[in-house]
Structure 1
Amino acid sequence: MTRSTDLAVETARGRLPVYFSRPEGEGPWPGVVVVHDILGMTHDLRRQADWLAGAGYLAAAPDLYSGERRSTCLIRMFRDARARRGRTFEDIDAVRTTLMSRPDCTGRIGVIGFCMGGGFALLLAADHRFDAASVNYGTASSDVYTEGTFERACPIVGSYGAQDRANRGTGDRLERILTAVGVDHDIRTYPEAGHAFLNDHDPADVPRLFAVLGRFAGGDDTFHEPSARDARERILAFFARHLRTSGDNGDASAGAESGSAS
């Protein structure tokens, strides 16, 4: 069972809306910041947070599109990703800090992202004080994939689809770099999965233009249940290893089998 609510986190630019989901009970629990894909705050994003809460984590999913038009936010976020700094990183760091300050949090915090959010999770793995990062078919510019970028990174679990044209070979490249710099990792590319295979979006949340562009850019972008189930099991096992301590409440394996975010 989980308890969810809409909260606001104070940032340098005002109040940032956050969907917050937590396990039942008193805690303390580790925290996870959930970074949305290009569609923003959707039913799927809330279900991802609920899935993590059901597995024993404080899950906070910020609406990084709040306060401006989506197109304006996208331009800003792409610019931030290229520069590796800016408002997007500051907002996510503010959510991490808020989680850490809660009395029901252990102080260990992970980050998980999907598609565009997966790219930010990858960039946040180094120098942003996260204890683990889950990168799900996140794209980044080619200059990111160097040993210098990841030599100070936290542990990374990454999941990709072999049918994803936008990420062809990305998993193998990341695997080689993390091995070379000695960062603990679990990287897997699923043969039958395409882009966004972990996201089971409601059709009403997907503008027609986005659906067309997604298929053009990444190939098959539909939810693939067998790959998603395995990826979730790996993510929970990885987070349990790096975010949990012996005194934590909750069961990290909870929902691993049935923990579909749908």
Structure 2
Amino acid sequence: MDSISELPDALLLKILSLLPTARDVVATMVLSKRWQPLWMMVPRLVYDDSYQNLEYGSFSRFVDKSLFLHEAPVIETLHFRLGKTCGSGDIRVWIRAADKCSVRRLILEFDSSPSASRAILPRSLYTGCRVLAILKLMQDAYPVGSIFCCLVFLTICTWESEWLNLLMCVLKDSPNLRALKLERGHSGPGPQPRPCWSEPSSIPECVISSLQTLEWTEYEGAKEEKEVIAFILRNGSCLKKVTISSKSTDRDKKLEMIKELAFLSRRSATCHLTFD
């Protein structure tokens, strides 16, 4: 431990950023006087209540205190994995703290089981965070009328049946979005019904003027998925790279997907389409 303590602060902070949870990070303060203040400058914090090992009040107090004491000028990533009893009031406080800490990447991951309480996200998440550039949400709450001027990278989970509605809402309200990732995410209880695609009456500004990359993982080639890709390719003036990957092991099915995608028209002459 003494040899590690001799490393410069910047390297020690990188090491601490690799620890799995914020509790592990804070626990290093007891190692020595050298380590005692370091945790307060770590640029990546993961608060995990999903295991339900602790009484929720204890978890909430820990988050409040550690965020209040944190001194880093910028937190690059703030990640919450929240269990069944998370309170909306706590989320509101933590979002204010995230803004105070100049969080660049915020991830809110909620328990999706039927017995979990429904958390309501405050409007301040979408309108009050000054420097937030990346937002990742795992639930279906969305306040109408929000504008994400600073949002440049977006990840949408395609497991829920309402993901298409959420996607179009966020695209419409994110005029400077540059990168979009669609992923299956964690699977909820039981199969979800297929969503229905309806092409919007107007094209989102970001699709026309700023969206540069689209990444789609676990693409299945379903009707609504093909229609979404066709819409983005047909209208994406600034698209440079579209990467599609499928978990299917059926070679014939993959070949059919590739043929379908290859024949879709592209507005951007420089768009490169890759199928993995």
Q: TM-score range by the shorter chain?
A: 0.3 to 0.5
TM-score by length of structure 1 reads 0.38
Q: Higher RCO, 1 or 2 (CA under 8 Å, sep at least 6)?
A: 1
Question: Rg larger in 1 or in 2?
Answer: 2
Higher strand share: 1
